[in-house]
Structure 1
Amino acid sequence: MIVGVDEVGRGCWFGPVFAAAVSLRDSAAQELSILGLTDSKALSPRRRAALVPEIEARATCWALGQGSAREVDTKGIRVATELAMLRALQRLPQPPELVLVDGVLTLRPWAGPQRTIVRGDSQEASIAAASVLAKEARDALIRRLAQRFPGYGLERHAGYGTAQHRAALLASGPTPMHRHTFLTKLFRGV
């Protein structure tokens, strides 16, 4: 079983980093490609949402994992990202024979075989599928959290560092779900 992993939310100021792990047979990868599967960043929100049930139905298996904002603050973004990927892989029904990791950095906590692929989310269907599932799951969580933390505009920017988010932070301060280590420059001199 070959599994692609990818993460989303690495550069956000708010919330967890999400990862997904997806295994696809060649036939499923071809079908999803015909349906327009590619890197989640290249897809419209509507197209991404439409692909989720298609991926879930065709995947041999898939799973999600996350690294919390607290883990980002205490362990760093790379470790939190690795934890999210590792948690996704550990939730699969069986360990993969090979993990395909998007990017140039290996997944240090993974003891099994792995291969990094630069721009893997636009070259490998399993990584692209992982990017779509992770993005949609994280965005759904952030929309729910936007109701719990109104006034930050989370439903619009998903926790990324926009002018609106900056203004809300300066006016109201960070929530417990913000990545405080990402905000040190913002609050310096305030």
Structure 2
Amino acid sequence: MMIIWPTFKREKQYWEQGIQLIAGIDEVGMGALAGPVCAAAVIFRNEIQMSKSKCQFNDQIQKPKGVVIRDSKAMTAQQRDEAAKWIKENSLAWAVGEASVEEIDTINIRQASHLAMRRAVDALSVMPALLLIDGNPAQPHTKIPAVNIIKGDQLCYSIAAASIVAKVYRDKMMENFSRRFPGYDWESNKGYGSLSHKNALLDKGITVLHRKSYAPVAALAHKQYP
């Protein structure tokens, strides 16, 4: 299978138009049965500035030496941890936002994911002029224009970086939650509907971190709290 490496091609289109502060945005956790949905926003310097910095790319596709930057789902946990550290050290700005389980159940997961994105953008140390967002049309921020890129986490460097930062953040959060709520295997499944997680739901019932608006959880919640 051919490996697809993200590039700065999309960002460059806007840099050349004079738009310098461009934030890549991606979310993680929409399909999970438990835990918050999280999003990250990452702003890189203009690639001309980056080429003169310590980033030291080793080819024309912006793959920094010794670090893998690509769709976070195609990376190992160690690769993501190393990449997240590199991104935080070499980006102009980065931030993470989240929406709680209560917010997911109240306003639905799609709106909650937009809320997490907006919180990530608002937490940036500098305000971007443009948002590049992975996936289908979304306008999470009322004051900043957005461009949606299908498979953006595979194609766009800033979005790929955001996907890594968001996943590392949420994975560590779910690992911490697994110590508070043992037996659901969250340290491995990160709250997604694995067989071990579903079996634990049947055996142990739901927790306050389970999304009661999700059908598999709602069915058990009805039995647990008739």
TM-score by length of 1: 0.93
Give unmatched runs, 5+ long, in structure 1.
Answer: none
Q: 1:48 corresponds to which residue?
A: 80
Q: 1:75 corresponds to which letter in structure 2?
A: I
Tell me how far 1:30 sits from its aligned partner. 7.6
Whole-Å separation in 2 of the counterparts to 1:79 and 1:148: 28
Work out whether residues 139 and 145 of structure 2, in 8 Å CA contact, stay in contact via their aligned partners in 1.
no
Q: 2:190 corresponds to which residue?
A: 158
Work out whether residues 98 and 114 of structure 1, in 8 Å CA contact, stay in contact via their aligned partners in 2.
yes
Tell me how far 1:108 sits from its aligned partner. 4.0
Q: 1:94 corresponds to which letter in structure 2?
A: V
Work out whether residues 115 and 140 of structure 2, in 8 Å CA contact, stay in contact via their aligned partners in 1.
no
2:135 maps to 1:130: no
Q: Deviations over 1:26-80 (max 9, x none)?
A: 2278836233200100111111111111101110000000011111111100111
Match of 2:202 among 170, 173, 176: 170
Q: 2:23 corresponds to which residue?
A: 3
Give unmatched runs, 5+ long, in structure 2.
Answer: 1-20
Whole-Å separation in 2 of the counterparts to 1:143 and 1:108: 28
**Using a 3 Å threshold, how does the CA distance of structure 1 residues 169 and 157 change in structure 2: closer, same or farther?**
same
Higher relative contact order (CA 8 A, sep 6+): 1
Whole-Å separation in 1 of the counterparts to 2:93 and 2:218: 40
Q: 1:173 corresponds to which letter in structure 2?
A: G
Q: Identity over the aligned pairs, expressed in percent?
A: 39
Tell me how far 1:10 sits from its aligned partner. 0.6
RMSD: 1.9
Larger Rg: 2
- Give the 3-state SS of the residue equivalent to 1:52 in structure 2: helix
Whole-Å separation in 1 of the counterparts to 2:180 and 2:140: 35
**Using a 3 Å threshold, how does the CA distance of structure 1 residues 139 and 95 change in structure 2: closer, same or farther?**
same
Whole-Å separation in 2 of the counterparts to 1:189 and 1:112: 44
Work out whether residues 33 and 125 of structure 1, in 8 Å CA contact, stay in contact via their aligned partners in 2.
no
Q: Deviations over 1:73-109 (max 9, x none)?
A: 1110011100100000000123211000101121244
Tell me how far 1:111 sits from its aligned partner. 2.6
Whole-Å separation in 2 of the counterparts to 1:86 and 1:187: 30
Q: 2:35 corresponds to which residue?
A: 15
TM-score by length of 2: 0.79
**Using a 3 Å threshold, how does the CA distance of structure 1 residues 162 and 74 change in structure 2: closer, same or farther?**
same
2:146 maps to 1:100: no
Tell me how far 1:156 sits from its aligned partner. 1.1
Structure number with the higher helix fraction is 1
Q: 2:63 corresponds to which letter in structure 1?
A: S
